[in-house]
């Protein structure tokens, strides 16, 4: 490999179609979720009055923040003994730790994110009726913010104070201690649950 050239992307499937489904560009992500959020807004419009809607969207954001933390901590970093289990964890997240700056794998592919989101939407609707769609809108917004921040953490310097703090928090997860700093956006959850990776004092 020539000096300065990019490393070869990790191939997850031999089948080209399956492999393509593991990749997504920022433009495709933006287009997919612009449509999906528009559908969500349309479905939730008028379900409840304005002020309760704001409260439900805020509840959805809170639910997302806990989902984000729990998913990363308890699923993406699950320790499995079987070869299939280890392959599955590598497929879903382990490959990201091997090649963290692959711009086509810094965002969850729609085949995963949209499928999971539709399941969450169905559960919320079953539990709360039309108001569940309003809660889900907050959940979906939280997801879009999460993946946008995650992509930026790996691809941009993020010099603004808040963004720089988010980036430092996530980079410590990659390069200091993988069993900590699981939150990407609501990073206070790592402090609440005792998984914050401390900054080493020089």
pLDDT digits (tens, 9 = 90+) for 68-85: 999 999 999 999 999 999
Residues 6 or more apart in contact with residue 52 via CB below 8 angstroms: 131, 134
- What's the whole-number mean pLDDT along residues 132-142? 98
What DSSP state is assigned to residue 143? H
- What's the whole-number mean pLDDT along residues 13-31? 97
pLDDT digits (tens, 9 = 90+) for 153-175: 999 999 999 999 999 999 999 99
- What's the whole-number mean pLDDT along residues 31-46? 97
Q: What is the pTM of this model?
A: 0.93
Asked whether the predicted pLDDT for residue 3 surpasses 70, the reply is no
Using DSSP, state whether 9 is helix, strand or coil.
coil
* Residue 59: φ, ψ to 5°: -65, -40
CA atoms within 13 A on the CB side of 61: 10
Residues 6 or more apart in contact with residue 25 via CB below 8 angstroms: 103, 104
Q: How far apart are CA 57 and CA 141, in angstroms?
A: 9
The fraction of the chain above a pLDDT of 70, given in percent, is 95
| Mean pLDDT, rounded, of the chain | 94
């Amino acid at each position: 490999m020539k000096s300065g050239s990019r490393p070869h992307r990790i191939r997850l499937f031999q089948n080209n179609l399956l492999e393509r489904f593991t990749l997504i560009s920022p433009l495709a992500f933006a287009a997919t979720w612009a449509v999906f959020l528009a559908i969500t807004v349309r479905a939730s419009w008028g379900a409840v009055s304005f002020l309760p809607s704001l409260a439900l969207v805020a509840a959805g954001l809170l639910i997302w923040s806990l989902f984000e933390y729990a998913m990363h901590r308890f699923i993406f970093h699950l320790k499995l003994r079987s070869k299939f289990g280890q392959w599955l964890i590598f497929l879903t997240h382990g490959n990201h730790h091997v090649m963290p700056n692959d711009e086509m794998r810094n965002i969850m592919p729609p085949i995963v994110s949209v499928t999971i989101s539709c399941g969450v939407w169905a559960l919320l609707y079953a539990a709360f009726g039309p108001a569940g769609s309003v809660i889900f809108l907050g959940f979906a917004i939280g997801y879009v913010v999460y993946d946008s921040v995650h992509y930026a953490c790996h691809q941009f310097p993020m010099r603004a104070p808040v963004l720089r703090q988010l980036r430092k928090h996530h980079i410590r997860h990659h390069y200091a201690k993988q069993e900590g700093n699981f939150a990407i956006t609501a990073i206070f959850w790592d402090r609440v649950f005792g998984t914050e990776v401390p900054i080493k004092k020089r």
